[in-house]
Chain A
Amino acid sequence: GQQVMQIPQYQHVQEGEDFTTYCNSSTTLSNIQWYKQRPGGHPVFLIQLVKSGEVKKQKRLTFQFGEAKKNSSLHITATQTTDVGTYFCAGSDDGNKLVFGAGTILRVKS
């Protein structure tokens, strides 16, 4: 079945440093979504990418969808303490269910 791998599992950065998490799917995706979950909280939708090679920006966050629609990345420029949490990618190859990656836990030291 479809699998979504996400790396790294953990990332500790100094406030102001950049952060990137990578997502790879075993199958070609129809779309990929990114979510953020704060400690003790629930996942919150960030963005959806649909087109091959698509790049979207939200303030300090940059999202990319690979040309083959099998990988994606989230890059945060100049991290802040409010960026702390777990970032999940989630891909769908059938339009019905999302398969989530295991997430990247981001810790930011001030």
Chain B
Amino acid sequence: NAGVMQNPRHLVRRRGQEARLRCSPMKGHSHVYWYRQLPEEGLKFMVYLQKENIIDESGMPKERFSAEFPKEGPSILRIQQVVRGDSAAYFCASSPSRVEQYFGPGTRLTVT
């Protein structure tokens, strides 16, 4: 059973460009979470999704950020018009039951 997959692993964007981060949950997991982590800091919750539904997006900035988890395909975290402050590691986690979360390897976003 493959683990949670995220791609790309590293992403470099210039200020003003768009960043698209993909997450494929583990097979059979219908709960997906996105987190953001700055160096040597904890994980900040961004959004919790189930298939086709956003359950809780209280941690996601209201502007420029959006997330989806379509019926088919991976979950996408989209950041429009990136700024330097968006540089961070973005982790996706999936869960079968809202208990333990299985994290992907993360996408390291660098905005130049």
Contacts and interface: CB of A to CB of B under 8 A. Distances in A.
Interface of A: 6, 31, 33, 35, 41-45, 48, 88, 90, 95-103, 105
Contacts, number: 52
| Contact residues of A: prevailing secondary structure | strand
Given A43-B91, A88-B43, A98 B56 contact: no
Interface residues of B, number: 24
Given A97-B58, A97-B59, A42 B105 contact: yes
B101 interface: yes
Contacts of A45: 100-103
Contacts of B64: none
Nearest to B44: A100
Contacts of A48: 99-100
A100 B45 contact: yes
B25 to A, nearest CB: 14
B33 interface: yes
Nearest to A4: B42
